[in-house]
Structure 1
Amino acid sequence: MADRIEQLLHRRTDLSTFLVHLTKDTDTGTARENVLSIAESRTIEARTAFGLARQQDVHLRRTEATQRVVCFSETPLEHTWMMVREIQGRREAFSKYGLVFTKTICRREGCNPVWYLDINLGHSWLTYPVRRQIERALAESTVDGHVIPELLAEQDILQLTPFMEKMGSPNGQRREFSWEREWRHVGHFRFKSAENVVALLAPEEDHNDLRQDLTYAWQRREVPLIDPDWGLERMISTLSRVRFDC
């Protein structure tokens, strides 16, 4: 009898069934405050434009065709420690605070993996035809020298560009983040309840205080708290609600 693909994938240690969203310090709060705010509102706000048409987001702010996204990583849980390290050349600095979702729930809500287009020298860049499509979309959406947001929002290429990024170092400046295995959701990402969250990420020394600061719905859920620096066995024990110190 032939194997089912689901059975095979569950044995692939390099693949993850989870997506992780890490928080960071922002102008509106610390990474800890932000993860608590997300837990209370059940919403991760899309505040930053990414992708090959991120410069056009200024024209799209009043439309649903935003280039602002919520970012996730499908890095296996036991390797999330890499995501919170200080890394040379990295634009974003993430904390140990975050949320873990199943990939199933995220796909149901419209999350997609990022498509990384190579820009190293020696071949024709795939970014060129994408850029020409963006320029064409702008031309078709411009009337009397002004971009009409509603017309631009109807352009198909703007639905795809939030999921496209460059990778490579053609000018000696390295832009290589495909290892993050990023997924994105266009616009705010909303989840129904604490039951939709596999675990919260936080430094171990803050677990007791963080649990006290969570709302009743999360306390009743007894959501697992995981430190990204933990090894796989301890993470499994926590997710299984088995005391690690027994």
Structure 2
Amino acid sequence: MRDIDSILRFRSDLSPFLVHLTKDESGGRSAKENLTKILTEKQLLCSDQLISDARFGMLTSSLTEAEKQDLFSAICFTETPLNEVHSLLEISYRGVDLKPYGLAFLKERLADRGVSPVLYINNIRGNSDALFQAMCTLCETRRNEAKRLLPLMAVFGKKIQPPAASNPQSGDVNFIWEREWRQPKSEGQLGFEANDVFIGFCPHEEIDHFDDMNLGFKFIDPTRNAKWYAEKLINARQRLKLKYSVVP
């Protein structure tokens, strides 16, 4: 009988990596500049954007902006396999426009630091509004626990309706396929070292620029088939002494 670890290493539908992609900021830094900042500071910082669907489970008008961010913001990752990272880019009608700049981290390393899978709640029948409202009562009774839990919440199916909403949200949402992981903002910055990173991402014509930074890991273009960079991926596997295959 095989042990579970040996089975999971060769499951092609699972990824041993967590990918963090950057985006252009409105009136601010470009996705490339954001990646450069991450590489220079060797840490990921949480944006001010409120991303948790738990924010629709309560009235937030009495909260300060800092309180809202502690409860509903997070650093985001996806468990998408390397050869499918391109599917996260240029998605119509999405609130976050990710660009082909970022890093693929070892999932085990980030999990050890508290990064967790998103809690996807089924609202296909539109019966989860009360559940979200109940979870948000933690803000009144267990604020510290709420800061850890609420940022991880997401819904699929019908959008959650805020209490006493004058303009109910319409339409459905479903991002389960992203296999998102998050670190709540209240956990602080997420520092990393070269051995936490498997590979970096950037457009093909900028690979030499990022490789020349001598960061301890190399870069590939996520919009191209990963086999294009087989040698780099094999070298990365050897550098980190990984036991599983990394070339799709």
| Normalised TM-score (structure 2) | 0.78
Of 139, 147, 150, the match for 1:161: 150
Give the counterpart of 1:68 among 73, 92, 98.
73
In the alignment, the residues of structure 2 paired with residue 32 and residue 49 of structure 1 have an alpha-carbon distance, to the nearest angstrom, of 22
Listed as ranges, the gaps of 5+ residues in structure 1 are 142-151
Shift of 1:66: 4.1
Q: Report the alpha carbon displacement of residue 63 of structure 1 after superposing the two structures with TM.
A: 10
Alignment correspondent of 1:81: 86
- Structure 2: distance between partners of 1:63 and 1:54: 8
The aligned residue for residue 50 of structure 1 is 51
Mapped partners of 1:79, 1:22: distance in 2: 13
Which residues in structure 2 correspond to 1:1-246 (within 5 Å)? Answer: 2-26=1-25, 27-47=27-47, 48-54=49-55, 56=60, 58-59=63-64, 61=66, 65-84=70-89, 86-121=90-125, 124-125=127-128, 127-134=129-136, 136-137=137-138, 140=140, 153-154=143-144, 156-169=145-158, 173-187=171-185, 188-212=188-212, 214=213, 218=215, 221=216, 223-241=217-235
TM superposition shift of 1:172 = 5.9
Q: Deviations over 1:106-133 (max 9, x none)?
A: 1011111111112112x742x4223123
Q: 1:59 offset after TM fit, Å? A: 3.8
Deviations 1:35-81 (A, max 9, x none): 01001111111112321333759447269954321000000000001
Contact 1:163–1:184 at 8 Å: present in 2 too?
Answer: yes
Are the structure 2 counterparts of residues 177 and 129 from structure 1 closer, same or farther at C-alpha, using a change threshold of 3 Å?
Answer: same
* Identity across matched positions, percent: 26
Instruction: List structure 1 segments (4+ residues) > 3 angstroms apart after TM superposition.
Output: 52-60, 62-66, 169-172
**Normalising by the residue count of structure 1, what TM-score does the alignment of the two structures yield?**
0.79
Tell me what 1:148 maps to: none
Kindly provide the amino acid, as one letter, of the partner of residue 105 in structure 1.
Answer: R
Unaligned runs of 5+ in 2: 160-168, 237-248
Q: How far apart, CA to CA, are the structure 1 residues paired with 2:230 and 2:5?
A: 20
CA contact (8 A) 1:64 1:153 kept: no
Residues paired across the two proteins, number: 219
Aligned match of 1:147: none
Q: 1:96 to 1:132 in 2, by over 3 A?
A: same
